[in-house]
């Protein structure tokens, strides 16, 4: 193989490696944040606890246009009736800042 092709192949492998690593990093920090902000007292990624599994949430809102805004308001205000009779308590801005909540919701919707 000419040297130039070898260099390109090496660069491509490095790029794939970095992409993989950054996906892992985001997944990991999502779980850490969930613990830090208390979401994991009631939620898990793959199973229903007190609240729905985040994978089920992702599936339910996959094609809903205003999902980001809807979920933001819902998690802030709390509420019940979508997944059952158990209410989610409000998650105030003192508990989790806007920016962090939006990041977490994007992570949930990517599951």
Binding residues vs ligand HEC (CB under 6 A): 37-39, 41-43, 50-52, 57, 71, 74-75, 79-84, 86-89, 91, 96, 104, 108
Closest listed residue to residue 110, CA positions, set 27, 25, 52, 48: 27
Cβ of residue 17: shortest distance to ligand HEC, in angstroms? 31
HSE-CB at 24 with a 13 A cutoff on CA atoms is 6
Cβ of residue 28: shortest distance to ligand HEC, in angstroms? 16
* For ligand HEC, the closer CB: 20 or 41: 41
| Rounded Cα–Cα distance for residues 45 and 78 (Å) | 19
């Amino acid at each position: 193989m000419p040297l130039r092709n070898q260099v390109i192949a090496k660069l491509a492998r490095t790029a794939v490696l970095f992409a993989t690593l950054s996906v892992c990093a985001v997944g990991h920090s999502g779980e850490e944040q969930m613990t830090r902000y208390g979401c994991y007292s009631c939620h898990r990624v793959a199973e229903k606890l007190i609240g729905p599994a985040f994978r089920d949430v992702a599936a339910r809102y996959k094609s809903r246009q205003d999902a980001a805004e809807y979920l933001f308001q819902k998690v802030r205000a709390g509420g019940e009736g979508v997944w059952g009779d158990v209410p989610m308590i409000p998650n105030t801005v003192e508990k989790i800042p806007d920016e962090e909540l939006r990041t977490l919701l994007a992570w949930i919707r990517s599951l």
